[in-house]
């Protein structure tokens, strides 16, 4: 098997995980690194003020990407317990949250145990909670593109589409300069306004991933019929995408 992922690291992360969650097993039979079996847990969100404890028992398959831990794992629930109307991606993997949010959480403890306990169990806990209470414990983001928009909106605490695009553009173009005016409309310099939030997000994703998120947000704004001013248009998008049609339609102003 060709391998670019460090197998020793994966093995040790798997051993650490399966020692604690003993119904899970490391599996390389299908030519990819995976952890499969039953994930049994008890969890509550006491620190969030939710004392309810749920005991979960889910059949899962965790796929470990070739470039782990640069990329985080993806997970399928294979026991058929999770309703397909819940957060499941079109390819059947669990939609654990906006990618940048998962990336940020995973980076705090980039091990399989960290991933399972900080990303996967909270997702399954939320599902158990919703089954019992009819709603999610921490509020629910929309699925897919809108979820990504909502996530950035709440991390930047901006309601305005142009402010959101202007901020995200800085990450998409990798053009942060602290002395520039913050695009949120505060008239302050970036370093005294959204600079800290931008610099906090930046190390967790590649410029290309931010560019894709920018394009996602741009797409949802255009879909609403809101034109995009050049001032918040990503330079990389401008350079690489043929925008003449959008310009003709008045979608770029």
**Is there binding between residue 171 and Zn ion (CB under 5 A)?**
no
Run of H or E residues at 59: strand 50-64
Q: What angle do CA 34, 39, 40 make, to 5 degrees?
A: 165
Q: Which stretch binds Zn ion (CB under 5 A): 7-15, 27-35, 136-144, 197-205?
A: 136-144
Q: For the window 69-108, what string marks contact with Zn ion as x by the rule CB under 5 A?
A: ------------------x-------x-------------
Q: How far apart are CA 53 and CA 35, in angstroms?
A: 25
- Residue 136 or residue 222: which is nearer to Zn ion going by CB? 136
- The residues that bridge with 33 in the sheet, in sequence order, are 64
Return the structure tokens found at 200.
């906090």
- Of the pair 86, 107, the CB lying nearest Zn ion is at 86
* 148 part of the interface to Zn ion, by CB under 5 A: no
Tell me whether residue 170 or residue 182 sits nearer to Zn ion (CB atom). Answer: 182
Distance CA 122, CA 49 (A): 14
Is residue 223 part of the contact set for Zn ion (CB under 5 A)?
no
How far apart (Å, rounded) are the C-alpha atoms in residues 56 and 40? 5
Closest CA to 39 of 59, 11, 19, 17: 59
Question: Quick one: which H or E segment has residue 105?
Answer: helix 99-108
Contacting residue, 34, 120, 171, 193, with Zn ion by CB under 5 A: 193
Query: Residue 158, interface with Zn ion (CB under 5 A)?
Result: no
CB of 23 to Zn ion, least distance (A): 26
Token readout for 170 is: 């800085």
Is there binding between residue 209 and Zn ion (CB under 5 A)? no
Q: Which is nearer to Zn ion, 14 or 96 (CB)?
A: 96
Residues that bind Zn ion (CB under 5 A): 87, 95, 143, 182, 184, 186, 193-194
């Amino acid at each position: 098997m060709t391998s670019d992922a460090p197998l020793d690291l994966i093995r040790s992360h798997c051993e650490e995980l399966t020692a604690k969650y003993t119904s899970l097993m490391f599996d390389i039979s299908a030519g990819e690194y995976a952890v499969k079996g039953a994930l049994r847990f008890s969890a509550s969100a006491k620190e969030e003020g939710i004392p309810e404890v749920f005991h979960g028992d889910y059949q899962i398959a965790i796929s470990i990407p070739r470039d782990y831990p640069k990329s985080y794992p993806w997970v399928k629930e294979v026991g058929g317990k999770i309703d397909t109307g819940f957060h499941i991606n079109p390819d059947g993997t669990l939609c654990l949250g906006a990618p940048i949010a998962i990336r940020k959480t995973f980076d705090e403890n980039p091990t399989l145990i960290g991933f399972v306990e900080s990303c996967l169990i909270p997702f399954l806990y939320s599902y158990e909670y919703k089954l019992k209470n009819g709603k999610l414990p921490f509020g629910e983001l929309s699925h897919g593109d809108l979820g990504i928009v909502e996530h950035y909106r709440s991390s930047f605490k901006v309601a305005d589409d142009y402010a959101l695009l202007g901020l995200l553009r800085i990450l998409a173009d990798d053009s942060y300069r602290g002395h520039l005016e913050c695009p949120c409309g505060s008239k302050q310099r970036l370093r005294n306004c959204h600079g800290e939030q931008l610099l906090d997000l930046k190390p967790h994703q590649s410029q290309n991933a931010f560019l894709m998120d920018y394009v996602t947000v741009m797409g949802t704004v255009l879909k609403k019929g809101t034109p995009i001013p050049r001032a918040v248009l990503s330079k990389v998008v401008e350079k690489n995408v043929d925008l003449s049609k959008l310009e003709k339609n008045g979608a770029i102003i």
